[in-house]
Structure 1
Amino acid sequence: MAKAKVNKKMGAVSVELPECPVCMDVMSAPIFQCQSGHSICNSCTRILLPPICPICRQAMTQMRNWQLEELISKATVPCPNRSSGCVFTMVAMNMEDHLKECIFREMACPIGIVFGRCSWSGKLKDILDHFKERHSNNCYLNTDSEININNVSISVDERYMYLMPLGKFLFILTFKIDTCQKMAYWAVQHIGSKKAAQQYVYGVHIMSKQDDKRQVVFLDKCFNDAFDVNEVFRQARCGVMPLTMLSHFIKDGKLSFSFIVQRSQPNFKNKGKGHVTENNPKNKGPKVPGPQSASNQSRGKSPGPMHYHQQKGTKGGPHVFKNNKQ
């Protein structure tokens, strides 16, 4: 029987986990037993033909080894991606959630997941190079430029996706036109853990093609890529604009916007219109309020569009923010 040592502070068990005698992998629930009491993992039990225990040749049963399953669920285990570089160890029952956001996991191309137009899969460190090679139009590298979309119509469902690097981190911007909800959505997600994503906020700056004085800025916090972006849209926990309003920003089927991503630091001010930046003192342009200006968004409610208004007698670009929701 496996020896276990309980860590009372962590609520975990330090134990050398037993291996399945068939596949030689670490046991995982559900675990079934034969008539003699030998335990075999579920995947191996299902492929045994006939269902005979490979140890004693007795018939397998549907009897679960509940004690062993409970022990394994409380044991501290390393991430299965440790050979790729992951150093996390955690209680086995929490491993499934970690694997959804582990940066060393095998990842499918985000374009392929959404649009089904790419079958590439690989590691996080290779995604940017893949986008540069295969999806260069969806790779946002020049943070001084705007994103210009052609053939935009508020009467047609559309979704656009862009990958952007910030230092060693990657972010995904998704823009969606939903004719059923009659809304347009903008959301930025961090490819990584939920904890890391909470350290960043983003702003989307939309410029009208019809009137250069009409501009809107949305500010919100980042989610990580393990959170379904469709759920972000459904809850309106992102930039949201009615399609009737969006129509005033489109001219001849063309729409432009830019965005920023910045660390959520107290008193931090962005100094670069359209920049993906981390407090770069060389950047110039209108100031964007820091995370505390969007504190109500941390409660899961979108503050609505925030408009630029230029004060009388001032020069330069717009710099005063006013929320249009009263």
Structure 2
Amino acid sequence: MSTLLNPECAMTCPICLETMHPPIVQCQIGHSMCKSCVTTTNIKTCPSCRSPLTNTRNYQLEQVIEGLGDLLKIKCIYNKKGCKYVLSAEEKGRHEDECRFRVFPCEGKKYAKWNCQWTGDYGDIYKHFKDYHNNQTWMQYRTEANMRMNLNNDFLDIQIISFFNGQQYFYYKHKLDVAKGKAYWAFQLVGTQSQAKHYYYEFEIHNDPVRKFKVTEMCYSDVEDVDKIFEEEKCVVISFKILKSYLIDDELPFKFRIMSIKKK
């Protein structure tokens, strides 16, 4: 049964009460709603008629909404938490994946497989690290230190960095891959991809005043897959063979700084 028979209400999701965005699913009677709303609320019956929900897509309605494009602006699903973005149907899903008002899992569990079940809001991420993973909060946006290295074992490390007293937060991610014989470092902004493009970092390994290994690279958003960044080597990458020549008593002298790109 088509819900397009009533154009006035056909585009309004009965769950979020906003304009629907693809994918759009139907109940057995034919009422449509955002699939993301069904998933988020975990409801089993239609809010309009209480009939069972299905996975049947309303492609006709999806085409209408997508066809309207910029003429049909939709609020972010997190608008009630404070997000002010109003987007086209095409932009909505991409934005909500990286929205600052989304629910954040512990990045340590996501990246380094920590046994941590925490989830929370953006404003609570740094406090969570301070309270439960305090050893992972010592780095600053300008850091110089020695790192103990064991090149016989795989290793993952993550730190959270406060940039100018919490104006932004960054994840420092480091990996030793014994099978590939390579070490990796990357920095990810906790934010959108468009915001991340405004930041870069300089990373330097050294063991005397002259001999240095230095890389300047762009920051990426935390929503981007860091394993893909490592695989594509869009980060700091150094082979174990070269790395060994910089070690001093199994410690690696290094320094880095995160910087914003100045507007012209």
TM-score, structure 1 normalization? 0.65
The offset of 1:30, in angstroms, is: 3.4
The offset of 1:264, in angstroms, is: 1.6
* Structure 1 counterpart of 2:227, from 225, 230, 236: 230
Report whether the alignment pairs 1:178 with 2:173: no
1:209-220 equivalent positions in 2, closer than 5 A: 211=208, 213-220=210-217
The C-alpha deviation readout for 1:137-196, integer Å capped at 9, x for no partner, is 21145456524333x222221121111111311111111111222111111111111111
* Structure 2 counterpart of 1:115, from 112, 116, 139: 112
Paired letter, 1:149: M
Paired letter, 1:112: K
* Structure 1 counterpart of 2:31, from 33, 39, 46: 39
The offset of 1:65, in angstroms, is: 3.6
Report whether the alignment pairs 1:247 with 2:261: no
Question: Would you say how many aligned residue pairs link Structure 1 and Structure 2?
Answer: 244
TM-score, structure 2 normalization? 0.79
Paired letter, 1:17: M
Cα distance change on mapping 1:148 and 1:85 into 2, 3 Å = farther
CA contact 1:200–1:264 (8 Å) conserved in 2: yes
Paired letter, 1:69: E
Cα distance in 1 between the residues matched to 2:193 and 2:101: 15
* Structure 1 counterpart of 2:12, from 11, 14, 18: 18
The C-alpha deviation readout for 1:34-65, integer Å capped at 9, x for no partner, is 56xx4244659x945xx9x937x8x9998754
SS of equivalent to 2:245 = helix
Larger helix proportion, structure 1 or 2? 2
Alignment-derived partner of residue 54 in structure 1: 49
Cα distance change on mapping 1:104 and 1:223 into 2, 3 Å = same
Cα distance change on mapping 1:222 and 1:64 into 2, 3 Å = closer
Report whether the alignment pairs 1:68 with 2:61: yes
SS of equivalent to 2:234 = coil
1:77-116 equivalent positions in 2, closer than 5 A: 77-116=74-113
Cα distance in 1 between the residues matched to 2:113 and 2:214: 31
Cα distance in 1 between the residues matched to 2:55 and 2:94: 28
The offset of 1:266, in angstroms, is: 6.6
Cα distance change on mapping 1:137 and 1:237 into 2, 3 Å = same
The C-alpha deviation readout for 1:68-105, integer Å capped at 9, x for no partner, is 23234443211111122211111123222112211111
Structure with more contact order per residue of length (Cα contacts < 8 Å, sep ≥ 6)? 2
The C-alpha deviation readout for 1:217-257, integer Å capped at 9, x for no partner, is 11011111111111111111111111111112223332232
Alignment-derived partner of residue 154 in structure 1: 151
Cα distance in 2 between the residues matched to 1:61 and 1:176: 43
Alignment-derived partner of residue 192 in structure 2: 193
Larger Rg: 1
Paired letter, 1:203: E
CA contact 1:31–1:69 (8 Å) conserved in 2: no
Alignment-derived partner of residue 30 in structure 1: 24
Cα distance in 1 between the residues matched to 2:228 and 2:220: 11
